[in-house]
Amino acid sequence: MRYLLMMTVLLVAAPPGTGAQEPRLGSLDFPTSASGEAQSLFTKGVLYLHSFEYASAAEAFRAAQTIDPEFAMAYWGEALTYNHPLWNERDRDRALEALGRLGSTPTERRAKAATEREGMFLDAVEALWTEGPKAKRDTAYSEAMGDLARAFPDDGEARAFYALSLMGLSQGVRVVPTYMRAGAISLEILREHPNHPGAAHYVIHAFDDPTHAPIALPAARAYSRIAPDAAHAQHMTTHIFTAMGMWDEVVSQNILAADLTWWGPGHYTSWLTYGLVQQGRFADAERYLADAQVKLAGVTRAGPRSYMATMRAQHVVNTGRWDDPSLEWDLDLDGVWPMARAIDSFVHGYAALERGDRDRAIAAHAALRDMPVNEQDIGKREVLVRELEALLMLDAGRADDAVEQLRSAAALEASLPAEFGPPDIVKPSFELLGEVLLELGRPAEARSAYEQALALAPRRALSLMGLVQAAAAVGDGKAAGRARAALREIWHAADPGRIHIGDGTSPGLE
């Protein structure tokens, strides 16, 4: 006979001599009707789930099912591992297979819930996996989680998963009011349970744009300590660090994340190499990029190949190496993410034009303009198209047209949801506008463009370098000095002889 077990579990490293270590993932209160080892495994699965370590979470939930095949919440947990709301992806077939092992119909499965509370958790996940459009099912799931959170207002887990469900309503695109609601709920949970991984994680996701990031800085600093053995937790902190231009932390935390997973092209290594070029550590970034390319050999999955294309693009744009050897790598882009292909086309066109190869730039622009992307990426692709068009206009001597086109690109970029991490708009349009205006001898306008670029991407090195030049050119030594001081701080470990802090009359790059 099962009984209600109120359990607080802190998974920490076992003391020396006591055997294998348990992963350090944080702590939570999740009362269920399970007992003993099944409950412990279930809690472990939920801790992994809160850190988006989905494969490890599913493994723990299946282990709990093996120990107690009638434990309905173990199947709820596994089904939830196949929903990745903030990545806008899900695997319905695998979720239904997991639920099918509990019972063949929702009614049969509901009858196995030991308490009304557990039944409401099951009802919510059933709503997530019914027939119909994804957005409709996400809404039904969130409404069910809201009902559960209101029915059990002291249930931190119901509230945490409700907060996550709210952010999942956005279909992978930030909707600020909804994210603020989720963030407020998560902040409250974190105050009550300062070692809760989900609360810290969801606070970070809710506020990881430059405007709101300072709100989540304490959560970011806490999360890596709360769940040191979760790779995603180590990386996730850098959503806030990137939004605030804290490049030392971006680099160090993504090294930890890559050490816990894989050093090939991926989410963590892409953020790492982006942070390195912001620090002026081009040589280190180049080594990591080349190593990732070696590790890509034989990999057929679209994800790593997509990341390889975007990592290369970021490297070329941010180092200004328009003839970088990586541009000659033969990357297999068949089946990669549509936006990764668009970024690749843009950077080849941009680099070709900088090398004086106008024909290749024109071809890249035509390919980019007609390239299909996912619906939520249409605006970003259009920004890249307009940027490349503007550069072609400038190359053709149509300076005024180029500036107007860049202003339209910048206005469009500013209207899009805030990007986090290495931007898909690999050359921010306000930054490019500033560079063109400086080239045309219009420093006052350039200064304004750089300031707007830095509002969207704080402490981005190329924008700071441009601001030093523009502010100095209009005689504002104080503004130039502030930008130069920020560069000096960012570049404390920069490659010797490659990057220097200029006197305000040069870009700061040799």
Do 382 and 495 sit in the same domain of this protein? no
pLDDT digits (tens, 9 = 90+) for 412-467: 999 999 888 999 999 999 999 999 999 999 999 999 999 999 999 999 999 999 99
Residue 130 — left, alpha, or beta (φ > 0 → left; ψ -120 to 50 → alpha)?
beta
Q: What is the mean pLDDT of the chain?
A: 93
Taking 80 as the threshold, does the pLDDT of residue 40 lie above it?
yes
Domain boundary among 171, 186, 221: 171
Taking 70 as the threshold, does the pLDDT of residue 72 lie above it?
yes
Average pLDDT of 173-181? 91
Q: Is residue 117 assigned to a domain?
A: yes
pTM of the predicted model as reported, rounded to 2 decimal places: 0.92
Taking 80 as the threshold, does the pLDDT of residue 476 lie above it?
yes
pLDDT digits (tens, 9 = 90+) for 255-299: 999 999 999 999 999 999 999 999 999 999 999 999 999 999 999
Do 372 and 473 sit in the same domain of this protein? no
DSSP notation for 313-375: HHHHHHHT-TT-GGGG-----TT--HHHHHHHHHHHHHHHHHTT-HHHHHHHHHHHHT----G
Q: Is residue 214 assigned to a domain?
A: no
CA distance 43 to 30: 7
Domain boundary among 398, 417, 444: 444
Amino acid 499: pLDDT: 53
CA distance 438 to 449: 10
Do 438 and 456 sit in the same domain of this protein? no
Do 418 and 454 sit in the same domain of this protein? no
Average pLDDT of 29-34? 94
Q: Is residue 488 assigned to a domain?
A: yes
Do 438 and 451 sit in the same domain of this protein? no
Do 463 and 380 sit in the same domain of this protein? no
Q: Is residue 185 assigned to a domain?
A: no
Q: Which residues pair with 5 in a beta bridge?
A: 32
> pLDDT-derived band of residue 173, with 50, 70 and 90 as boundaries?
confident
Taking 60 as the threshold, does the pLDDT of residue 11 lie above it?
no
Q: Residue 7: exposed, middle, or buried by beta-carbon count in 10 A (0-12, 13-18, 19+)?
A: middle
Nearest to 230 by CA among 253, 248, 213, 249: 253
Domain boundary among 444, 473, 494: 444
Q: Which residues pair with 150 in a beta bridge?
A: none
Taking 70 as the threshold, does the pLDDT of residue 202 lie above it?
yes
Instruction: Note the helical H segments in 396-499.
Output: 399-415, 429-439, 443-456, 461-473, 477-490
* Per-residue tokens: 229: 């053995």
Question: CB–CB of 437/403 below 8 Å?
Answer: yes
Q: How many helices and strands, by DSSP H and E, does the chain display?
A: 24, 4
> pLDDT-derived band of residue 214, with 50, 70 and 90 as boundaries?
very high
Nearest to 240 by CA among 267, 270, 202: 202
Long-range CB contact pairs, 350-357, < 8 A, 24+ = 350/317, 350/322, 350/387, 350/388, 350/391, 350/427, 351/316, 351/322, 351/323, 351/324, 351/327, 353/388, 353/391, 353/392, 353/395, 354/322, 355/322, 355/323
Q: Is residue 243 assigned to a domain?
A: no
Average pLDDT of 118-128? 97
Do 420 and 453 sit in the same domain of this protein? no
Amino acid 172: pLDDT: 75
Question: CB–CB of 274/421 below 8 Å?
Answer: yes
Taking 60 as the threshold, does the pLDDT of residue 501 lie above it?
no
Amino acid 140: pLDDT: 96
Do 406 and 498 sit in the same domain of this protein? no
Average pLDDT of 480-489? 97
165 vs 1 pLDDT, higher one: 165
User: CATH number, domain at 476?
Assistant: 1.25.40
Q: Is residue 18 assigned to a domain?
A: yes
Do 439 and 504 sit in the same domain of this protein? no
Do 405 and 351 sit in the same domain of this protein? yes
Do 435 and 318 sit in the same domain of this protein? yes
Taking 60 as the threshold, does the pLDDT of residue 198 lie above it?
yes
Segments forming the whole domain that contains residue 90: 8-171
Q: Is residue 42 assigned to a domain?
A: yes
| Beta carbons within 10 angstroms of residue 421's beta carbon | 17
Taking 90 as the threshold, does the pLDDT of residue 181 lie above it?
yes
The number of domains in the chain is: 3
